[in-house]
């Protein structure tokens, strides 16, 4: 079995840029379609949850793009101070929005559970509970 060779800082920042731009375009398309196509809101009662999930993904992809933008080209790429500085800024930022996006699936599970227990309860009645938990 071969040894794992991780990418260096420059290559990982370029990978963050590629993934960030691709994700930013996809999430921006999803969020803008929600606001520009009014039928989407009417067809799905929990479309707000999808938009919040896409918004968290959009901000997280913006953080990936900033990871590339914050890399200083004039400093040696193996500078430990620069790496710790970027991690201290982007680490909590990305963790927060990753957790917020994952909690979206928790809200869908709770929505399914409540719909199975009481199928006649509307979405607006459950909205306050979702905002309290989320």
Are 79 and 113 contacting, i.e. CB atoms less than 8 angstroms apart? no
User: What pLDDT was estimated at residue 28?
Assistant: 93
User: What pLDDT was estimated at residue 72?
Assistant: 62
Kindly tell me if the per-residue pLDDT of 108 is higher than 70: yes
CA–CA separation, 26 and 45 (whole Å): 22
CA–CA separation, 49 and 98 (whole Å): 15
Task: Read off the pLDDT of each residue in 109-124 and give the average, rounded to a whole number.
Answer: 74
Are 7 and 59 contacting, i.e. CB atoms less than 8 angstroms apart? no
Kindly tell me if the per-residue pLDDT of 115 is higher than 80: no
Model pLDDT for residues 51-104, shown as the tens digit of each residue: 888 888 898 888 888 878 877 655 555 566 766 777 777 788 888 888 877 777
User: What pLDDT was estimated at residue 1?
Assistant: 46
Are 90 and 117 contacting, i.e. CB atoms less than 8 angstroms apart? no
Model pLDDT for residues 9-47, shown as the tens digit of each residue: 777 778 888 999 999 999 999 889 888 887 877 776 667
Task: Read off the pLDDT of each residue in 101-128 and give the average, rounded to a whole number.
Answer: 73
CA–CA separation, 52 and 111 (whole Å): 15
Q: Which alpha helices (H) appear in 37-121, and where do they start and end?
A: 39-43, 47-69, 80-117
């Amino acid at each position: 079995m071969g040894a794992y060779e991780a990418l260096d800082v420059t290559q990982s920042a370029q990978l963050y840029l590629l993934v960030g731009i691709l994700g930013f375009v996809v999430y921006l398309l999803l969020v803008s379609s929600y606001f520009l196509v009014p039928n989407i809101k009417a067809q799905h009662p929990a479309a707000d949850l999808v938009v919040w999930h896409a918004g968290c993904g959009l901000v997280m992809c913006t953080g990936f793009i900033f990871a590339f933008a914050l890399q200083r080209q004039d400093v040696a790429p193996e500078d430990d101070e620069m790496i710790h500085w970027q991690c201290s800024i982007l680490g909590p930022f990305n963790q927060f929005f990753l957790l917020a996006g994952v909690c979206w699936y928790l809200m869908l599970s709770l929505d399914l559970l409540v719909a199975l227990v009481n199928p006649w309860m509307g979405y607006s009645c459950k909205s306050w509970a979702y905002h309290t938990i989320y």
